[in-house]
């Protein structure tokens, strides 16, 4: 590795590593600008190795693929969005639906990633990028000054040289690590997402979830993750329902529980079981998620190299907002633009590539992460995970319980009693409330 | 293809097929394992005899994918005979034969994974008037000939000394296809593929697929004075049900005799 062969010969202008949403968007932008682009994918086709847990928000594609919604292989448009608080026996749901999200330009969609990513990569190919599949990048090629000048792959004669390498190689990015950009790799920053995809007839899904046609539902869940900090989700595809959990890895390792047991508990919950009853498991999948947001982000620029998507930990896990694919597409797009700028200016040093940082900072990509930098820790904290759901559910249960001939108790009294019963100190509650208000407000 | 290099002309026949459980999804389409093995052995054999490999497929434009894979692995020429999918085996073989008529060595997969019957290699050998080694489990390369071990009924093996011109069809486990180099893969993506129109009108197998039935046999009027005798002569009731004859003949005569008997029995 790292050997210098022939400094002046490039195989192409830009190498994009990884055919996920970030990589394909980077390749689309760079290829459309007339650069020669090679898009490397380790799977047999783009999307074959990819996984996500809910909703894709593709509006960022407006800039790349006008009227993308007419051709994108989506399953359902999410018109109903629920946030659910679960205890072992209770459920409190905030449920919202709007017709607006079921019409162009739409909002969020559920999709099968092998379809969605494959489709996005086909646009990169149409733009002129060369897609090479079943090819794993094994390392970086650097010149004697340490500048990244290409990649090594697992194929014979597999070195490939380019002016810019864009690493979109996903969470655990080996390239970002090898380049020395990724230092926050402590396990506490990561969660494990696991999900089952259950087949049910479309009419049954429509009926159980109260939707029609292409309308879909996304339910985000707090609680009921078997004592492991994390969250759950249920979302509808056309004729399958996905149900899964996101689990803090360190905590999961400490418990004698396997992730599929936690999914089984969630599936058996009285609020979830009727939705998925009779569903046949078609797929079980799992993936690591960079969960800590700003706190774990690597440096995204070095000489001859940019990092985008999950590889740059661009995944927003802020409880009520759970997004990743849109951040991947945006960062890929901006990385592509910065690479074009740098190649045209003839300066692919970190300085020449700084347009990437500017674009990230000026847009939602980093602004959302900055604003919500405290949210991931708050959402995954023990109180939010284990104490508040029980307290809130008990308060609501007592609010709506009619104990005649007893008169109704005052809400403040119930709140105080339940807070004490849950063992929550008043100042912690206020502090968490303020953190939440600062983050989300 | 001049006749000078005829003995070193190696052809591999590849079929672009869908996976059985993904019948129309091109993402999961490609060569079957047997075709992979055939390609690898064709490349090895060409190296052994100092020849070059031509990859041939019969199918629509999407089938170019298997030819590009072959080019990336080391084939030097790629020909696609342009047809829809689902052409009958006999017509596929005739079409390939018209392109590969000078080939000395033709390698095929044993059978494709989409309901393949393994009949194309047999038809192809007939059309090329080449010898055939079908359902081969393993090969040993000699100088100028191949020793092929073939699966036969009852778990037995047959060892054949294969001389050119020959059609060899191999099972998927005979060889593992090499991994294409990155440079070759990139070059193969834009390498030229010769697209030729089929030399004959191609029939899809749907047009000719039917259950085999022996043709009706013309019988003379039964003889016999009694009705019972006439019924007996019509149905052969009361005679031995196992009709067999044992004759010792030279191979050519034996084949002629078998055909004649099958005709008499109404199977041909």
The CATH architecture one would assign to domain A188-290 is 2-Layer Sandwich (3.30)
The span from the CA of A209 to the CA of A211, in Å, is 6
Candidates B27, B177, B182, B189: best to mutate against A (most CBs of A within 10 A) is: B182
Rounded (10°) angle between helices B89-99 and B120-128? 40
pLDDT given at position A5? 44
Nearest to A329 by CA among A40, A6, A23, A73: A23
- Residue B244 is part of which domain span? 227-265
- Provide CB contacts within 8 A for A292, sequence distance 6+: A184, A188, A189, A190, A313, A376, A377
Neighbours of A244 (CB within 10 A): 27
Inspect the interface and report whether the beta carbons of A155 and B189 lie closer than 8 Å: no
| A/B interface, count of CB pairs below 8 Å | 33
Per-residue pLDDT of chain A (441 residues; tens, 9 = 90+): 344 444 447 899 999 999 999 999 999 999 999 999 999 999 999 999 898 887 999 999 999 999 999 999 999 999 999 999 999 999 999 999 999 999 999 999 999 999 999 999 999 999 999 999 999 999 999 999 999 999 999 999 999 999 999 999 999 999 999 999 998 888 989 999 999 999 999 999 999 999 999 999 999 999 888 889 899 999 999 999 999 999 999 889 888 889 999 999 999 999 999 999 999 999 999 999 998 888 899 999 999 999 999 999 999 888 778 899 999 999 999 999 999 999 999 999 999 999 999 999 999 999 999 998 888 888 888 888 889 999 999 999 999 999 888 888 889 999 999 999 999 999 999 999 998 888 887
Count Cα neighbours of B202 within 13 Å in the Cβ-side half-sphere.
23
ipTM attached to this prediction: 0.84
Q: Select the residue of A114, A118, A160 nearest B182 (Cβ to Cβ).
A: A160
Is B164 within the bounds of a domain?
yes
The span from the CA of B26 to the CA of B22, in Å, is 9
Q: State the nearest Cα–Cα gap between A144 and chain B, in angstroms.
A: 24
Q: Answer yes or no: do B248 and B204 share one domain.
A: no
The span from the CA of A39 to the CA of A129, in Å, is 7
Q: Answer yes or no: do B51 and B176 share one domain.
A: yes
Inspect the interface and report whether the beta carbons of A155 and B186 lie closer than 8 Å: no
B65 contacts on A by Cβ (under 8 Å): none
Q: Show the DSSP H helices in chain B as ranges.
A: 33-49, 64-73, 89-99, 120-128, 182-189, 205-208, 227-235, 251-265
- A133 has a chain B CB within 8 A of its CB: no
Nearest to A244 by CA among A262, A258, A271: A262
Is B142 within the bounds of a domain?
yes
The span from the CA of A439 to the CA of A317, in Å, is 12
Both tokens of A192, joined, read: 């494990």
Determine which helix (DSSP H) or strand (DSSP E) holds A436, and give its type and residue range: helix A426-440
**Cβ proximity of A107 and A57 under 8 Å:** yes
Is B79 within the bounds of a domain?
yes
pLDDT given at position B238? 67
Inspect the interface and report whether the beta carbons of B185 and A44 lie closer than 8 Å: no
User: Which parts of chain B sit beneath pLDDT 70?
Assistant: 1-6, 115, 204-217, 237-243, 266
Q: DSSP characters for A332-393?
A: HHHHHHHHHHHHHHT--STTTTTHHHHHHHHSHHHHHHHHTTTHHHHHTSHIIIIIHHHHHH
Q: Select the residue of A118, A130, A156 nearest B27 (Cβ to Cβ).
A: A118
The span from the CA of A308 to the CA of A111, in Å, is 21
Is B213 within the bounds of a domain?
no
A319 alpha-carbon distance from chain centroid? 12
Three-state SS for B173? helix
Nearest to A182 by CA among A191, A173, A190: A173
pLDDT given at position A330? 97
Task: Determine the CATH number of domain A12-68+112-184+294-371.
Answer: 3.50.50.60
Q: Could you tell me the CATH number of the domain that includes residue B18?
A: 3.40.50.620
Q: Select the residue of A38, A45, A157 nearest B27 (Cβ to Cβ).
A: A45
Is B214 within the bounds of a domain?
no
Q: Answer yes or no: do B74 and B118 share one domain.
A: yes
Rounded to a whole number of angstroms, the distance between the first and last alpha carbons of chain A is 49
Q: Answer yes or no: do B136 and B198 share one domain.
A: yes
Q: Answer yes or no: do B62 and B157 share one domain.
A: yes
Three-state SS for A193? strand
Q: What is the DSSP letter of A303?
A: T
Domains of chain A, residue spans: 12-68+112-184+294-371, 188-290, 381-440
Neighbours of A280 (CB within 10 A): 9
A44 contacts on B by Cβ (under 8 Å): 27
Q: Convert the pLDDT of each residue in B56-69 to its tens digit.
A: 999 999 999 999 99
- A73 has a chain B CB within 8 A of its CB: no
Q: Answer yes or no: do B46 and B151 share one domain.
A: yes
- Provide CB contacts within 8 A for A168, sequence distance 6+: A16, A17, A18, A20, A22, A23, A26, A307, A308, A309, A311, A328, A332, A335
Inspect the interface and report whether the beta carbons of A135 and B185 lie closer than 8 Å: yes
Total number of domains constituting chain B: 2
From B208, B238, B253, the end of a domain falls on: B208
Nearest to B133 by CA among B107, B154, B112: B107
- Chain A residue with CA closest to B25: the answer is A115
pLDDT given at position B15? 94
Residues paired with residue A108 on neighbouring β-strands, in sequence order: A78
Q: Answer yes or no: do B198 and B80 share one domain.
A: yes
Is B222 within the bounds of a domain?
no
Both tokens of A20, joined, read: 């996920």
Count Cα neighbours of A71 within 13 Å in the Cβ-side half-sphere.
12
Q: DSSP characters for A233-271?
A: EEEE-SSEEEEEEEEEHHHHHHTT--HHHHHHHHHHSTT
Phi, psi of A404 (to 5 degrees): -60, 145
Q: State the nearest Cα–Cα gap between B178 and chain A, in angstroms.
A: 10
Q: Select the residue of B27, B182, B189 nearest A155 (Cβ to Cβ).
A: B182
Is B220 within the bounds of a domain?
no
pLDDT given at position A7? 46
Q: State the nearest Cα–Cα gap between B112 and chain A, in angstroms.
A: 20
pLDDT given at position A147? 94
- A197 to each of A224, A225, A230, A260, A274, how far by Cα in Å? 19, 18, 19, 12, 16
Place of tokens 């995954």: A380
- Chain A residue with CA closest to B73: the answer is A156
- Chain B residue with CA closest to A45: the answer is B27
The C-alpha angle with vertex B135 and arms to B132 and B141, in degrees rounded to 5, equals 70
């Amino acid at each position: 590795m790292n050997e210098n062969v022939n400094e002046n010969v490039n195989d192409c202008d830009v190498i994009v590593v990884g055919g996920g949403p970030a990589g394909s968007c980077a390749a689309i932008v760079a290829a459309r600008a007339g650069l020669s682009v090679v898009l490397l994918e380790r799977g047999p086709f783009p999307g074959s190795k990819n996984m996500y847990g809910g909703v894709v928000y593709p509006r960022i594609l407006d800039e790349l693929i006008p009227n993308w919604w007419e051709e994108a292989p989506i399953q359902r448009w999410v018109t109903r969005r629920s946030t659910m608080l679960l205890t072992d026996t209770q459920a409190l749901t905030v449920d919202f639906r709007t017709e607006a999200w079921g019409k162009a330009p739409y909002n969020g969609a559920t999709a099968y990633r092998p379809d969605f990513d494959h489709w996005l990569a086909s646009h990169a190919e149409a733009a002129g990028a060369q897609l090479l599949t079943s090819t794993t990048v094994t390392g970086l090629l650097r010149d004697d000054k340490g500048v990244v000048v290409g990649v090594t792959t697992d194929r014979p004669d597999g070195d490939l040289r380019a002016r810019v390498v864009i690493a979109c190689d996903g969470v655990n990015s080996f390239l970002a690590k090898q380049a020395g950009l990724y230092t926050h790799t402590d396990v506490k920053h990561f969660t494990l997402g696991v999900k089952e995809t259950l087949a049910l007839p479309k009419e049954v899904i429509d009926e159980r979830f109260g939707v029609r046609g292409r309308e879909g539902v996304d339910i985000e869940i707090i609680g009921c993750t078997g004592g492991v900090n994390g969250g759950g989700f249920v979302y509808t595809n056309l004729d399958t329902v996905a149900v899964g959990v996101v689990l803090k890895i360190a905590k999961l390792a400490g418990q004698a529980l396997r992730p599929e047991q936690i999914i089984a508990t969630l599936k058996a919950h009285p609020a979830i079981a009727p939705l998925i009853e009779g569903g046949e498991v078609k797929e079980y999948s799992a993936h690591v998620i960079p969960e800590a947001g700003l706190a774990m982000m690597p440096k995204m620029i070095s000489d001859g190299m940019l990092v985008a998507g999950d590889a740059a930990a661009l995944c927003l896990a802020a409880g009520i907002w759970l997004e990743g694919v849109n951040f991947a597409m945006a960062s890929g797009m901006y990385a592509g633009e910065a690479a074009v700028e740098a190649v045209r200016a003839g300066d692919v040093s970190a300085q020449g590539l700084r347009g990437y940082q500017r674009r990230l900072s000026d847009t939602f990509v980093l602004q959302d992460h900055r604003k919500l930098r405290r949210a991931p820790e708050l959402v995954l904290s023990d109180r939010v995970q284990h104490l508040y759901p029980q307290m809130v559910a008990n308060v609501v249960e007592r609010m709506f319980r009619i104990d005649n001939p007893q008169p109704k108790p005052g809400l403040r009294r119930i709140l105080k009693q339940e807070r004490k019963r849950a063992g929550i100190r008043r100042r912690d509650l206020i502090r968490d409330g303020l953190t939440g208000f600062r983050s989300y407000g | 293809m001049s006749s000078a290099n005829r003995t070193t002309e190696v052809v591999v026949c590849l079929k672009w097929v869908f996976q059985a459980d993904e019948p129309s999804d091109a993402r999961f389409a490609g060569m079957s394992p047997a075709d992979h093995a055939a390609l690898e052995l064709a490349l090895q054999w060409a190296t052994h005899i100092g020849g070059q490999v031509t990859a041939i497929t019969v199918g629509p434009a999407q089938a170019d994918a298997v030819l590009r894979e072959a080019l990336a692995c080391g084939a030097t020429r790629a020909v696609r005979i342009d047809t829809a999918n689902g052409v009958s085996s006999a017509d596929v073989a005739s079409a390939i034969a018209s392109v590969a008529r000078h080939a000395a060595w033709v390698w095929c997969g044993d059978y494709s994974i989409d309901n393949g019957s393994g009949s194309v290699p047999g038809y192809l050998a007939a059309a090329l008037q080449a010898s055939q080694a079908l359902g081969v489990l393993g090969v040993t390369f000699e100088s100028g000939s191949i020793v092929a071990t073939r699966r036969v009924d009852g778990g037995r093996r047959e060892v054949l000394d294969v001389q050119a011109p020959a059609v060899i069809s191999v099972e998927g486990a005979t060889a593992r296809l090499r991994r294409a180099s990155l440079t070759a893969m990139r070059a193969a993506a834009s390498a030229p593929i010769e697209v030729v129109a089929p030399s004959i009108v191609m029939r899809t197998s749907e047009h000719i697929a039917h259950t085999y039935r022996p043709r009706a046999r013309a019988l003379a009027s039964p003889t016999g004075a009694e009705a019972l005798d006439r019924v007996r002569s019509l149905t052969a009731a009361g005679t031995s049900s196992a009709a067999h004859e044992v004759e010792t003949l030279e191979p050519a005569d034996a084949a002629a005799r078998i055909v004649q008997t099958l005709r008499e029995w109404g199977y041909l």
